[in-house]
Chain A
Amino acid sequence: DAKTTQPNSMESNEEEPVHLPCNHSTISGTDYIHWYRQLPSQGPEYVIHGLTSNVNNRMASLAIAEDRKSSTLILHRATLRDAAVYYCILRDVYNQGGKLIFGQGTELSVKP
């Protein structure tokens, strides 16, 4: 399973943008880059995913490097409710049953 590397923790101020990095140097051509987050005492929730192009949705943006060996999740204006553990995961839905292998993630804290 291709692995990802994320910082253990990051801090942000409320209403400022947050850039959460992820390295995945062994990514394969069929791996999609997924981001999930887990709020305290809850199950993980989907944030965004992409393959090669940058992606935007109502929650966040995903910037993918041209060589696909790294990506960045962007929260445009952090709120206190965005404090969570963010997981960057490579997902191959065609060859590995679509399983999600979680790493340690990045714990994001947001200061008022």
Chain B
Amino acid sequence: NAGVTQTPKFQVLKTGQSMTLQCAQDMNHEYMSWYRQDPGMGLRLIHYSVGAGITDQGEVPNGYNVSRSTTEDFPLRLLSAAPSQTSVYFCASSYGRSPTEAFFGQGTRLTVV
């Protein structure tokens, strides 16, 4: 059971480049979400999804796009990277409408130069 898998683990981008952070889960979870964590800070919610075809904005959505075409995958797209997007990104998943635990990936460390 792989849980939540994020790729890549590390990435360096130049300002203005675009890229997609991948997140996949094999637990048939309805809920998935993306967070960013800046140094010394707590996690902030970027976007979330309650099921395939349904997404919504979190606390800090600007500069990021998401889509949810399948239950398993929830990619995060940076359209034009900026140095302010340098951060560690975490993906999470959980069962829908259930208070049970959310599972987090190991994170993607992104640096924009």
Contacts and interface: CB of A to CB of B under 8 A. Distances in A.
Given A32-B99, A43-B105, A98 B35 contact: no
A contact residues, range = 20 to 34
Interface of A is mostly: loop
A99 B101 contact: no
Interface string A19-62: 00000000000001010100000111110010100000000000
Interface stretch (B13-21, B72-80, B88-96): B88-96
Nearest to A107: B40
B53 interface: no
Nearest to B99: A32
Nearest to A43: B104
B54 to A, nearest CB: 9
Contacts of A85: 42
Contacts of B33: 99-100
B44 A102 contact: yes
9 contacts: A36-B102, A43-B105, A44-B90, A45-B104, A97-B48, A99-B58, A100-B45, A102-B35, A102-B45
